[in-house]
Structure 1
Amino acid sequence: MKKEKRQRRRYTQEFKQDAVALVTEQGYSIAEAARSLDISDTILRRWRDEFVDQFNGDALTNDEREELRRLRRENRELKMEKEILKKASAYFGERNEVKYAFIQEQVTLYPVTLLCRITGVTHSSYYDWRRRGPKVIPAGEMALRRRMKELFIASRESLGSRTLMENLQSEGFEVGRDKVRRLMKSMKLKVRKKRKYKITTDSKHNLPVAENMLDRRFNPEKPNQAWGADITYVWTQEGWLYLAVIIDLYSRRVVGWCIDKRMSKSLVIRALMMAINLRNPPAGLIHHSDRGSQYASKAYQALLQQHGIICSMSRKGNCWDNAPVERFFSSLKREWTGDRLYRTRKEAIADVREYVAVYYNARRLHSTLGYKSPVDFEKDLNNVSGIG
Structure 2
Amino acid sequence: MYRNDKVIRRYSEPFKLKILAELTIGKHTKSELCKLYSIAPTTVNVWIKKYNRKDLMNTRVKVETKDEISRIKGLQKEIEQLKKLLLKKDLDAMVEESYLEVAAEDLGFKSIAELKKVKYKALIKAKEKSKRFASLTTITHCFGLKRDAYYKYKSRADKRLILEQQIINIVRKRRKSLPREGVRKLIKSLDIDFNKVNIKVGRDTLFNVLRKHQMLTLRKKTSARTTNSYHRFYKYNNIIKDLEVTGANQVWVSDITYIRTVKGFCYLALITDMHSRKIVGYDLSDSLELKGCVRALNKAIYQAKKIKQLIHHSDRGIQYCSNVYTQILKRKR
- How would you bin the TM-score normalised by the shorter chain? 0.3 to 0.5
Could you state the TM-score of these two structures normalised by the residue count of structure 2? 0.33
State the structure with more CA Rg.
2
Could you state the TM-score of these two structures normalised by the residue count of structure 1? 0.29
Asked which structure has the greater RCO (Cα within 8 Å, sep 6+), the reply is: 1
